[in-house]
Amino acid sequence: MRFTPYLVLTILTMVIASTLDSGCAAIINRDPNLRWWVFKTYGANRICPEILKQSLALRLTGESSPAIGRYFPSSCTTSINEENRTVIVNIGGDGYAYLPGSKRLAFTLTSAPEYKFDFFMHEKGNWVWGRLSRMAGAPDFHVKNTDNKLLDVAAIVTPIGPVANVFGNQIVSGFLTKGFTVVETSEGKDFALVILPPGQKPFKPIQVDSKAAYTFVNETTDIHSSQQDFLGPFEVADDGQKIQIRGTLVGQSAVDFVVVSKPLGDIWRQSYESGAGATRPPGPPLWNVAVPPGPFTRKFKLKRGLYYVVVDNSRGVGQSNPIFSLPNPIFDPAVRMTYIAQLVDD
């Protein structure tokens, strides 16, 4: 999943729905004044705590394309505009992505979108929308560094524009301005960078048994040679629950799944983004398992808390030791992982 700052509102609507009959739910759906009161009273103060627990997958094209990087919020404040019935969300964070030419690129982004929030209680679940009202502050996107030290990042041009602008524009125009939908159903919470009507769900590459587990994320990601991908953070609600990752790995090399707590993972990720590249974790991992090409299922029993599952496609970090390939100044080979991350009890 998903950069989902408004999941608390879906939880709130489910609580309301469980205590009200369908007639009352219909009244709420028809009354924008009541929906705004519900949000500002119970939901607004939970936006930032939810933001800071999530990450946003970055893609070059649509929702069905592979993730090639992630954005991790690290600061957040909100203010309510009662007159306009909107909320200004001041977000700051950093992230990484892999592009031809620059290879791994690390960046920072701060922005202040002002959103109109709304929700709908549907028979299949709850749909929550964030529609951009305006940008209260201009987005500030900066490239910190890249793996390719020989090229001027500002001069690199991809098929869709200068590399220094690609992800700044994607986050601003895709995430911030197009709006988003959070869907809360018995299968879990889904997030899409598009406004979906009630009853319609985001694209998912793996079919899910709604009774099997709670789903964090269901996506495809590319991990290039000598790179890492920090999946999560994922929240374990109770001691003894397991994070399950299942899917298919396509490529010539095995990878490692390295599980670490969020505090340790944040330090590790900051090192990765600083230009140090793929390194060992700065402390003992909770789990470290190899995953060969083909179908896989891995389960990690953990205590209550937030965790990263780091996918490592480099030599010397985990157990797998991927096949050695000669360095390429422009582009490195990759493995493609289509996977679903879930919280399970067994």
Helix-strand-coil split of the chain, %, nearest 5: 20, 45, 35
Domains located in the chain, CATH noted: 7-192 (no CATH), 214-344 (2.60.120.680)
Q: CA 299, 10, 19: angle at the middle one, nearest 5?
A: 110
pLDDT for res 26: 74
Rounded Cα distance, 343 and 346, in Å: 10
Measure Cα distances from 89 to 2, 44, 117, 226, 331 in Å: 17, 10, 12, 35, 36
Rounded Cα distance, 226 and 313, in Å: 6
**CA-derived radius of gyration, the chain:** 20
DSSP state of 180: E
pTM for this entry: 0.80
Residue 114 CB-density burial (10 A; 0-12 exposed, 13-18 middle, 19+ buried): middle
Question: And the tokens for 160?
Answer: 């869709």
pLDDT for res 11: 41
List the chain pLDDT tens, one digit each, 346 residues. 333 334 444 444 444 444 444 556 677 777 888 778 877 776 777 778 878 888 888 887 777 789 989 999 999 999 999 989 898 989 999 999 998 777 888 989 888 888 888 777 777 777 877 788 888 877 788 888 888 766 555 555 555 555 555 556 655 555 566 667 777 777 766 766 667 788 777 767 676 665 567 888 899 999 999 999 999 999 998 898 999 999 999 998 899 999 999 999 999 999 999 988 899 999 999 999 999 999 999 999 999 999 999 999 998 788 887 766 666 666 788 999 999 999 998 7
Residue 45 φ/ψ, nearest 5 degrees: -75, -5
| C-alpha 264: how far from chain center | 18
pLDDT for res 261: 97
pLDDT for res 339: 97
| C-alpha 135: how far from chain center | 22
DSSP string, 200-261: -----SS---TTT-EEEEEEEEEEETTEEEEEEEEEE-STT-EEEEEEEEESSS-EEEEEEE
